[in-house]
Amino acid sequence: MDIKNNDLIKIIKNHYGDEFEKFIEWARFPLRPIIRINTIKADVNDVYNRLTNKGFILSKINFINFAFRVEYYPYEIGKTLEHYLGYIYV
């Protein structure tokens, strides 16, 4: 990772100490998207079924109501009709 801000590097190194290199290695990989279903506009099961029928693989996040981690996506979930209609937040 090419970090250009030396002050930021110092802060991160100070915080993580010996774990700094592990943190940098972890930070190189993008996080999987998470969605939350807008229950004012749509039914949770309906949106879940619509997305899985399109090839998305979702896993429930137990500590966030109506939220799912997108384990696999055939295309960007932010470009789905469900997102445009306001059924999900990315």
Say whether both 8 and 48 belong to one domain: no
Rounded Cα–Cα distance for residues 49 and 54 (Å): 9
Instruction: For the full predicted model, state whether its pTM sits above 0.85.
Output: no
> How confident is the model over 20-59, as pLDDT tens digits?
888 888 888 888 899 999 999 999 999 999 999 999 999 9
Say whether both 8 and 39 belong to one domain: no
Q: What is the CATH number of the domain that holds 44?
A: 3.30.70.1170
Domain holding 19, by residue range, is: 1-30
Say whether both 26 and 38 belong to one domain: no
Say whether both 55 and 44 belong to one domain: yes
Q: How many CB atoms lie within 10 A of CB 73?
A: 18
Task: Answer whether 12's CB lies under 8 Å from 21's CB.
Answer: no
